[in-house]
Amino acid sequence: MIGRDELHGVLVPVVTPFLPSGELDLASYTRYVEKLAEHHINGLIINGTTGEAPTVRWDEVVQLTRATQQILKEKHRSIPVIIGTGTNDTLTTIQRTEQAAALGADAVLVVVPYYSKPSQEGIIEHFRRVTEVGVPVIAYEIPARTGVRLTMHTAKTIMEMEGVIGMKDSSDGLELVTELTRQDAGAVLCGDDLYYHAKLSQGASGGILASANLYTDIFIEVHDLVQKGRVMEGKRSFDRVVPLIRKLFQEPNPAPIKWVLANQGVIASDHLRLPMTRISQPLQKELAQLLTGIEAALN
């Protein structure tokens, strides 16, 4: 299990590869995670938004976790394994968190309960109950997806809970990270890829970034430069991937990332489970051109 001090750097939310039939593709997953584990990343997130949590069954989460642990063991890599257990039902979230603990998760990622638009007290109580399981919790604020926004008081209250080691901040702005880090409330990880450099500059200790599935070392370099106070160099480095990030979020995540990974032969297929669909032909063309340009600039 990990603590607040270990929540920094680049944590990669993994995709869940499927065969064209829709079945889990563990062979692709193994190839893909073996490749990711070669980078100096500080965590792998299973069953996040990028992992298509809404359509992945829990027994599949178990298979993905065991496969990940096996790969890391074989490669002698001790990268924290974090499992997304958050749902919009407190009891289900507790049960999944207990199961994640039994699986040996180093921490769990718990999204603010979505869709039902609970009160701030309800959200606080949701997190309080989940922390009672005893596995470290990373709270996940993503108002554009949940339909509810944490007040600063709620965010601070959650961060102060024993058992909460940090927050993934996917809010569309700098207010949350600025205020939480100013008040030394704990580790804040950027979860909104375009804001990565800005949030690091405002005190975030790292990021959980779908786009770090590609050019992982650039995202690591940006983090390291900002941590060393070389903020403008960090920005220049980050600028190289900004056009790519824009394209990766032009259509719903993780469809564009899956297309790139399939196109590069890392995974066998860009299949997504409905209601998610593969990216449009125009975006495929734009991404292919952009990646060729980035490769040329980097070589």
Ligand X SMILES: O=C(O)C1=N[C@H](C(=O)O)C[C@H](O)C1
- The continuous run of DSSP H or E covering 207 comes out as strand 206-208
Task: Give the nearer residue to ligand X in terms of CB position, either 177 or 209.
Answer: 209
Residue 208 among known ligand-binding residues: yes
Task: Give the nearer residue to ligand X in terms of CB position, either 171 or 237.
Answer: 171
Q: Which of 29, 32, 168, 247 is catalytic?
A: 168
* 198 contacts ligand X (rule: CB under 6 A): no
| Tokens 């979505």 belong to residue | 114
Least distance from ligand X to the Cβ atom of residue 206, Å: 12
* 208 contacts ligand X (rule: CB under 6 A): yes
Task: Give the nearer residue to ligand X in terms of CB position, either 145 or 149.
Answer: 145
Per-residue contact flags (x/-) with ligand X for residues 239 to 278, judged by CB under 6 A: --------------x-------------------------
**Catalytic residue check, 168:** yes
Residue 232 token pair: 């403008």
Task: Give the nearer residue to ligand X in terms of CB position, either 157 or 211.
Answer: 211
* 60 contacts ligand X (rule: CB under 6 A): no
Judge whether 31 and 66 are in contact, CB under 8 Å. no
**Which letter does DSSP use for residue 133 in this model?**
T
Nearest residue to ligand X by CB is 48
Q: What are phi and psi of 166, to 5 degrees?
A: 170, 180
* 209 contacts ligand X (rule: CB under 6 A): yes
* 45 contacts ligand X (rule: CB under 6 A): yes
Q: What are phi and psi of 32, to 5 degrees?
A: -65, -45
**Residue among 227, 171, 225, 231 at smallest CA distance from 195:** 171
Judge whether 125 and 95 are in contact, CB under 8 Å. no
Judge whether 159 and 131 are in contact, CB under 8 Å. no
Looking at the DSSP assignment, which residues form a beta bridge with residue 166? 138, 187
**Which letter does DSSP use for residue 48 in this model?**
S
Whether the upstream peptide bond of residue 13 has omega within 30° of 0, thus cis, is no
- Separation of alpha carbons 4 and 181, rounded Å: 13
Task: Give the nearer residue to ligand X in terms of CB position, either 51 or 186.
Answer: 51
* 191 contacts ligand X (rule: CB under 6 A): yes
Stretch of residues binding ligand X (CB under 6 A), selected from 45-53, 177-185, 230-238, 288-296: 45-53
**Catalytic residue check, 140:** yes
* Residue from the set 13, 17, 86, 186 that interacts with ligand X by CB under 6 A: 13
Residue 133 to residues 7, 91, 164, 279: CA-CA distances in angstroms?
20, 11, 11, 39
Residue 71 among known ligand-binding residues: no
* 222 contacts ligand X (rule: CB under 6 A): no
Q: Which residues are known to be catalytic?
A: 140, 168
Residues engaged in binding ligand X (CB under 6 A): 13, 45, 48-50, 142, 145, 170, 191, 193, 208-210, 253
Residue stretches of the annotated binding site for pyruvate: 50, 208
